Structure formats: C-alpha cells, structure tokens
Amino acid sequence: MADIKVNIHTLDKKAHRSYLQKGYLDPVTHEPLEPGDKVVFCAVCELGFIYDSWVTIGQRHCGQSETLDYVPVYGDVKKPKKSIRLFLNTERIALIVILLIVLFTTIRLNLKKKEELKIANEFIERQAIELISLRKEKEQKEPQYADILRQLDDKVQYNIRLTDENELLKGELQKIQEAEENSKKEKENITSVITSYFNALKSKNVRMAINTHVRRDRTKHLSNSLSEIAGEISDYSINAIGLFKLSDGTALFFIEHNIYRNHDVTESLTVCFKLEKEEGDWRIASVYPINDR
C-alpha cells in the first residue's frame, strides 16, 4: 500500500494572516504557531500540527492519516473531499454499532443480574420466613420438650434407684443363699457325723463310735456306755428335726431316734446332740435325751 502524501504548509505572515491572528497552538508542544513554521493539518478536525509534532504522534489523528492540502481560514474553508467524508461516516457508523452492541450487552447483563438478584432475594426471603417459622415452633415446643426431658430424667433416676435396690437385694439374696447353702452343708456334715455314730453302734463298732466324739483321750466311761448301748441296738431310724448354731461356735442338733426290735418300735427318743468343731470337722461333745416313750 502506497504511503499517503503529507501536505506540509509553511505559514506566511501575509498569506496566512487570518489563520495566524486566531493564535492557534500546537496540540503536542502547546506552543503558538508562528510565521515560518512548517505545519500539517488533520483532514478531519483541521487542527494544525508542527511537522515534527505530526511525526511524533505517528502521522495519524482522528483515526486516519489524511492531511489538508490547504490552510484552513475562518470563512474560507474548503469542504473535505468526498472520500474523506465517506470514511468518516463509515467510521462513525461502526463506532455507533459497537457502542450499541456494548450498550445492549450491558443492558442484557444488568437485566440478567437484576433477575438473578430478584431470585436470590426471593430465596433469602423464603429462608427468612422458614427460619422465623422454625424459631416460633421451637419456642412453642421448648416447654413441651423440657417437660418430656424432665419426665425422662425422672424415669432414668427411678430406674437407677431400682437398679441400685435390685443390686442390693441381689447381694442380700446371695448372702442368704450362701448362708442357707452353708447351713445346709453344716447340717449335712452334722447329719453325717450322727449317722456315722449310729452306724457304728449298730455294727457294734465301739471304737468307730468313739471316733465321732471329741476328747477321745477320756473315753473309758464313754466306751463302757457306748458298749452297753451297742448291745441293745438292733435297728433304728433317725429323722433330723433342727440345727441351731450357738454364739460360742458350738451347735445343737435335734433328731428323732426310733429303735426297732422285731420290726416294732420299742423306743422313741428326741435326742439333742451338742457338737463342737475339731480341726475343722464337727464331732459329738454331749448327747442329751429330751423325752422318751
């Protein structure tokens, strides 16, 4: 593309007096235009530039590089060339179109933002209404919840007390069961001693009978007595009546003792045995008849 011709005018004091009288300034240096200056005029706005300033701004102004081929004077301004006017109109139309597009886009974006803002405000308003509703509902139900929680706490405390009482009762029951078990074992042990005693007498085994007694070193009188009893016993039955443990560590054991001869009961006695522990085992200390028939 050929370079555009730059029209350079040397200002003359006489020929360009009317222009010089207006006191125009160079748009770049802001110095007054004087006779003898080499000046270039923009073809669009007709501003005059000192040639050096025109070069400094890249030889373009108002979006183009065309220059006037005359010095514009007030009252004697020639009309721009048709091609320049057409260029100017096209440029203005394009600029107007761009501005309209920008304006339309801005309006559309603003409308979209406005719609989004409206939706957001509606959402916030709904959330606020729901929050207020929930808060009112909470305020209404809080007393009910507090009462329910109180009742639940009372039930929990009651259950805890019942559990504690049950544990205590279980402990007491276990103690009673253990005591009963111990008493049962003691009774069984004592019954075993008494049974061994009568079995020894039945079998006429006086020495074995003596072994069921404590203080066996003093057994001469006891031996004679047991020998006499053993000579009379042919058969018997014993029924335990009761066991009583005394505070001194001894025990009283009551039995019903029936002696048979020829399958008939010839003698029936309620006998009290006093027992003492020797090396952890129960042994007979004394025998007392309670009644006979």
Measured distance CA(106)–CA(104) in Å, rounded: 5
Is 128 found in the same domain as 31?
Answer: no
Q: What are the counts of helices (DSSP H) followed by strands (DSSP E) for the chain? A: 5, 7
Is 264 found in the same domain as 170?
Answer: no
Q: Is 205 domain-assigned? A: yes
- Report residue 261's pLDDT band, with 50, 70 and 90 as the boundaries: low
Measured distance CA(234)–CA(262) in Å, rounded: 9
Q: Is 45 domain-assigned? A: yes
Residue pair 52/74 in contact (Cβ under 8 Å)? The answer is: no
For the chain, give the percent of residues with pLDDT over 90.
Answer: 24
Contacts of 57 (CB under 8 A, 6+ apart): 28, 49
- Domain range for 140 is 81-185
Is 205 found in the same domain as 142?
Answer: no
Look at 278 and 123; give whichever has higher pLDDT.
123
Residue spans of beta strands (DSSP E) within the chain: 9-10, 38-41, 48-50, 235-245, 251-261, 264-278, 281-292
Per the prediction, the chain carries an average pLDDT of 82
Measured distance CA(187)–CA(204) in Å, rounded: 25
What is the greatest pairwise CA distance in the chain?
Answer: 187
List pLDDT tens digits, range 197-232.
888 877 878 778 788 888 766 566 777 777 777 776
Q: Is 224 domain-assigned? A: yes
Residue pair 43/67 in contact (Cβ under 8 Å)? The answer is: yes
Among 5, 11, 10, which residue's Cα sits nearest to residue 67? 5
Of the residues 185, 219, 236, which one is the last residue of a structural domain? 185
**What pLDDT sits at residue 114?**
86
Q: Is 3 domain-assigned? A: no
**What pLDDT sits at residue 78?**
44
For the chain, what is the domain count? 3
Of the residues 138, 154, 185, which one is the last residue of a structural domain? 185
Q: Is 1 domain-assigned? A: no
CATH code assigned at 245? 3.10.450.50
**What pLDDT sits at residue 80?**
44
What is this structure's pTM?
A: 0.39
User: 38-42, 188-192, 243-247, 288-292: which range is least confident on average?
Assistant: 288-292
Measured distance CA(47)–CA(27) in Å, rounded: 8
- Block residue for tokens 């004592």: 190
Q: Which amino acid, one-letter code, is at 83?
A: S
DSSP state of 283: E
Q: Is 2 domain-assigned? A: no
Residue pair 281/210 in contact (Cβ under 8 Å)? The answer is: no
- CB-based burial of residue 250 (10 Å sphere; 0-12 exposed, 13-18 middle, 19+ buried)? middle
Q: Is 4 domain-assigned? A: no
Residue pair 62/42 in contact (Cβ under 8 Å)? The answer is: yes
